[in-house]
Amino acid sequence: MILTIAHKELKILLGSPFAWIVLALVQAVLAWTFLAHLEAFLEIQPQLVKIANPPGVTEAIIMPVFAMASVVLLMITPLFAARLIAEERRNHTLTFLLSAPISLVEIVLGKFLSLLVLLSLMVALVTLLSISLLAGGALDPGLLLSNIAGLLLVSACFASFGLYISTLSTHPAIAGAAALGILLGLWVVDMAAEEGQADSIGHISPLSHYQGFNNGIIDTFDLAYFMLFVLVFLVLAVRRLHDERIGG
Amino acid sequence: MTTSAQIPPALSARRLSRQFGGKMAVQDVSLELRHGEVLGFLGPNGAGKTTLMRMLTGNLAPSHGWVEICGKDLLDKPQDAKAHLGYLPEIPPLYRELAVDEYLRLAARLHRVAPGDITSALHRTKQRCGLASLGNKLLGTLSKGYHQRIGIAQAIIHEPDVVILDEPTAGLDPNQIREIHSLIRDLGAEHAVILSTHILHEAESICDRIQIMHEGRIVFSEAVDRLKQKGESLEELFVHFTQSGKMSTSLNHPGRHM
């Protein structure tokens, strides 16, 4: 049933030009970033040779491209997540799912899964960009894998958060703007905390937990944070739909 | 050997109430629906018909009372109960981006039709609802009459025991209304049907039993045959029972017990 719902979501999503336009724009932005870093790397390469233990292509190109990708995903995931419940409510189709013999957990997981598939597609495109560097040299597979895993985890966080915000609204646009605003807000709080002394409120945003993965360090604390973040907002989304049935 | 007494009624509800804020939308409604019966809910706008339908289909939890569908409690075992249920809400729940076949296949899968049986169920349902020629059309491009028929098709594709239709003929032209009426009569032969409407002759011509709702209560309940025998006019009854302040409780006998 989870797969049936995920399949339906993907069909509706990929049937509209919206998803393709966003995918194309994301790819264009990331390709631009990639080429810019590649050019910079080629320029400084002669000097790098003189240093002992110079940074390789993975550090010099792939790391910044993946860091950029995480910010781009922060921006676009709310756009996709916002429609998941709010649009069904707006079009009066939520009744179709609620009257069928499926549980709320299945509905929420199905929708979350559809979003993960779409985000994995974007992560796959970024990965392909990086792998193209193999044509000219060797990559650090460990660093690349940790970046891929981190990007998938951080986008899962954005997805579950966006999905929860979507359950609160009847307007996809409002849900999208709210989710984006809050995610950006958390990121700004983290940046401010890093600059100042207020370390206690740092590390609120999923993005700051991605930094470790970006540098090739897989910290169990970050892993636990991601898992908890995803779980909490999925549970909240189910709770919200349940309460709606009670509260009317 | 099973007798009819051992089979639980298609749907039974006891003392259902629902309040929104301080206002009671549905008060103390009990009803019982036998297999193969078409029950019509009449009432003015705002009488609580839609709220009642939403409670009977598990879309809204009642403040008090319980609902059983084919002997399965809708609150304790929602999924087992809903498997026996087909529901057409007031506004048909259609995904405009899907084609007719895609949508009905989705409805069949979500309602646990075995994968091998989906194609035959799809074919049969489309034939029944007059949709045979429309397989690849997107729902968003079709007219209101088709939307209503597709709405009914998604409610019956899994051959549910109970079909609940909320104002299935609202906004249709007379020809379409006639088609939907014959479809509902057809459904009544195999399924138990609950129908809400505020068109009186519609209820009279296709229902076996009629209940009138007013201000959240059932104020009148009678078999259509008996009404005809007594020669009572449904219109007079309707006006009599739904004018505020003239509520009679003497006729308030919710459902017949078996």
Helix, strand or coil for residue A147?
helix
pLDDT tens profile A91-127:
999 999 999 999 999 999 999 999 999 999 999 999 9
pLDDT tens profile A135-180:
877 888 899 999 999 999 999 999 999 999 999 999 999 999 999 9
* Chain A residues lying within 8 Å of B78, measured CB to CB: 101, 103
Give A200's pLDDT tier (boundaries 50, 70, 90): low
Is A11's CB within 8 Å of B102's CB? yes
Could you tell me which residues are beta bridge partners of residue B33?
B11
Q: Of B95, B101, B118, which to mutate for an interface test with A (greatest number of A Cβ within 10 Å)?
A: B95
**B159 in A contact zone (CB under 8 Å):** no
Could you tell me which residues are beta bridge partners of residue B223?
B209
Gap between the Cα atoms of B156 and B88, Å rounded: 9
Q: Of B100, B109, B110, which to mutate for an interface test with A (greatest number of A Cβ within 10 Å)?
A: B110
For B82, nearest residue in chain A (alpha carbons): A101
Structure ipTM: 0.87
* Chain A residues lying within 8 Å of B60, measured CB to CB: 245, 248
Once rounded to an integer, what is the mean pLDDT over residues B78-101? 94
Per-residue pLDDT, A248: 63
Shortest distance, CA A25 to any CA of chain B (angstroms)? 23
pLDDT tens profile A58-73:
888 899 999 999 999 9
Q: Which pair of structure tokens corresponds to residue A153?
A: 């985890």
For residue B230, with 0-12 CB atoms within 10 Å meaning exposed, 13-18 middle and 19 or more buried, which class applies? exposed
**B18 in A contact zone (CB under 8 Å):** yes
